[in-house]
Amino acid sequence: MNNMPRLGSPAEGMATCQQWWDTATSKTYNTSKSSSRRTQYSSRKISQIGHVHNTLSKSHCRNAEATGTTSTQFTGGRRTSKSLGSRSSIVQTEIGGRRSRRWSPYLTSDNLKWSSLLLIVCLVLLDVAGTAAFQSMDAYMELRPRVVIKKDDHTVQSFHGNHSHTDHFRLLQRDGNHILIGARNIVFNVSTLNLQEDYNRRIEWKSTTAASKMCFSKGKSEADCQNYIRVLAKKTENEFIVCGTNAYEPLCRDYTFMSNGTVKYVQKNGRGLCPFDPRDNSTFIYADDELYAGTVTDFGGIYPHIYKNPLKTEIYDGNILNAPDFVHSFEYKEFVFFFMVETAVEYMNCGKRRYSRVARVCKNDRGGSMSVYKNSWTTFIKSRLNCSIPGEFPFYFDEILSTSDVVEGVYGGFSQSLVYTIFSTPANSIPGSAVCVFSMADIQAAFAGRFKEQKDINDNWMSVKDKDVPEPRPGACGDSQSLPQSTIAFTVSHSLMDQSIPTFYNRPLMVKSSFGSYRLSKLTVDPQVQLLTRGAVDVIFIATDAGVILKMINAIAPHTNERVEGVLIEEIHLFDQPTQIVNLQLAQQTTGDTKLIVITDDAVTAVPLQRCHKAITCSECVGLQDPYCAWFERPGVCGAAHSDQPGAVLQNVTSGVHYQCTS
């Protein structure tokens, strides 16, 4: 135990834990200048949790010595070698021919007794500290809804497909007054007017008997060995690309709806475009007549890539993609962006850490001219997304869960292109989630900044000096086939940018701690809803993992970019039991009416955007701060703000108070 000074004895260990505990619970930190004087919360307390965890890990790592014999294990296609010693092990892993080495703490029976006891004590203390920290944060950050809408208090429309089994619905494509919903063996075409299916436009596509038998022989269940539609892109008014898992052998079809009512298709291999497992997190986007996909390429789901025929990322290089979960993708100007969370290669402490990233490729990328880069991206680069509570020790929400498309609007008097996101803490961490906003200008600035590199496996990751970056600049959208080999080689080996991308408001728009409650999971945005006074606000609809829908705004967005004032307008309960919401989209009809489409595994639900009539008085109506609602004085009702009701119309989204309200 003398080799472990920080954990050398029970007394020393308890003193160390007590010291950390005192530090974690006695200090608060006043946030950035843009925050008001009342914005004190315990970011220091929260950050101590990660700090203590890292210190515990490092104390073991510093004492790690590789001694003893070696044992070898084979797990999931990975060969792992351990040098068994008195205090540590070296873990050596081979994946796809690439070998990596990392230190791993290995305790003997002498060390294990006291270290285990101290770890338990510290974890108990940290759990209490974390709870106190989030409670302190809740006092400032957590929003309370203006109104709670119970399940029986509102009317919704619902669509249920097959009643004999779960359809595993996914909303994939909007088509005028219809939505196309990928499910198990079927693409449903459903009207947004009444959520009734158009049977004449239904696509049925089951796996063949031979494909199902092969799937069964590989140990998969009957439910797995179906064809789950996971890619659907509209090419023209009557042409669609559809891809399905096809009993773990992905296929794609180009469908054409003929004028005489018949349907024709051409079938092709779907590997690299569609996942094998219907539960895998993948993404796709159809842009400039080409299909881009972020998914896995193999039956086991081990090898991910970002793909556009014939270009793909290197599947065996963990520095490019390292066990990612893809979240979303969209096109913006001459680029396609991919949002994901992956294991961070630059995290140098013991253990692993997941970071959220945004990656970028150029639409005009055609690969390199030389054979070695002929089918490789020459413009793929990525950067970390920083969603955190600011402070001397920021508290990070590291795992991105959902992303909106680009929202164009005016914020604080300036035109901006924003992306709304939901982030979460890891599943085994203090439960919490946040809404963070990023500007495309900040994202592009990060990609125009310095690159990050690790020169040797034992070196820290450092920024690359400008003089060491070749010309033309890697990641720029030029003629990829005229690029020199030095530029392409640099891009492949330096895909990670040095600068992380900050949030637009330098803080989350909303934070939700989840002790005994729910986490935020999905979002969609109704952009730039016009106010009756001046300006416009984005209305954010947020789904939770318990099936609750939240509606919120940043009330002061038209006036300033320096701070936020989130308003949680409604908390809407749709289901009798906690239900996982898998997708959330807005569907605007040709009549101008818009509905919120909520997708679960076995149902599609259409929800109105407002319930203004539930406010009885002028003060209640204006106090909602709902841009969809206004008080109409002559009939004395709260109604849709842009309806044709006569008389004076009262609304104040910024403050929720109007001097003309007398009731």
Q: Crossing angle, helix 10-26 and helix 109-141, to 10 degrees?
A: 10
Specify which residues 607 forms β-bridges with. 596
Asked if 452 contacts 464 with a C-beta cutoff of 8 angstroms, the reply is yes
For helices 43-62 and 10-26, the axis angle rounded to 10 degrees is: 150
Mean pLDDT value of segment 208-236: 94
What is the rounded CA–CA span in Å between residue 238 and residue 258?
7
Q: What is the pLDDT of residue 42?
A: 38
Place of tokens 């008001």: 36
| More confident position, 351 or 18 | 351
State mean pLDDT over 502-509: 94
For residue 292, pLDDT beyond 60? yes
Q: Using one digit for the tens of pLDDT, what is the confidence trace for 126-180?
A: 444 444 444 445 434 578 899 998 877 777 889 987 766 777 888 778 888 889 9
Comparing 51-60, 283-292, 336-345, 600-609, the range with the smallest average pLDDT is 51-60
Cβ atoms < 10 Å from Cβ of 572? 26
Query: Does the structure show a pLDDT above 50 at 370?
Result: yes
Question: Given this model, what pLDDT does residue 645 score?
Answer: 65
Q: How confident is the model at residue 53 (pLDDT cuts 50, 70, 90)?
A: very low
Residue-level pLDDT at 105: 39
Q: What is the pLDDT of residues 344-368, one digit of tens each?
A: 999 988 889 999 999 999 999 999 9
56 — pLDDT class (breaks 50, 70, 90): very low
What pLDDT does residue 272 have?
94
Mean pLDDT of the chain: 81
Report the percent of the chain where pLDDT is more than 70. 77
Count the neighbouring beta carbons within 10 Å of the beta carbon of residue 533. 11
Statement: residue 88 has pLDDT above 70: no
Is the predicted pLDDT of residue 12 greater than 80, yes or no? no
Q: Read out DSSP for 393-432?
A: SPEE--EEEEE---EEEEETTEEEEEEEEEEE--TTSS-E
Using the predicted structure, report yes or no on whether residue 23 has a pLDDT greater than 60.
no
Which pLDDT belongs to residue 65?
Answer: 35
- In which residue are the tokens 């891809």 written? 243
- How far is the CA of 180 from the CAs of 172, 231, 287, in angstroms? 6, 11, 18
The confidence score (pLDDT) of residue 624 equals: 96
3 — pLDDT class (breaks 50, 70, 90): very low
User: Which domains does the chain show, CATH number per domain?
Assistant: 5-144 (no CATH), 612-650 (3.30.1680.10)
Q: What share of the chain is helix, strand, coil (3-state, %, to 5)?
A: 20, 35, 45
Rg, C-alpha atoms of the chain:
27
CB under 8 Å to 213, separation ≥6 — which residues? none
DSSP characters for 92-111?
A: EEEETTEEEEEEEE---HHH
**Tens-place pLDDT, residues 579-615:** 999 999 999 877 778 999 999 988 999 999 999 999 9
Asked if residue 20 has pLDDT above 60, the reply is no
The set of residues, in sequence order, having a beta carbon less than 8 Å from that of 139 and lying 6+ positions away, is 41
- pLDDT of the residue at 663: 81
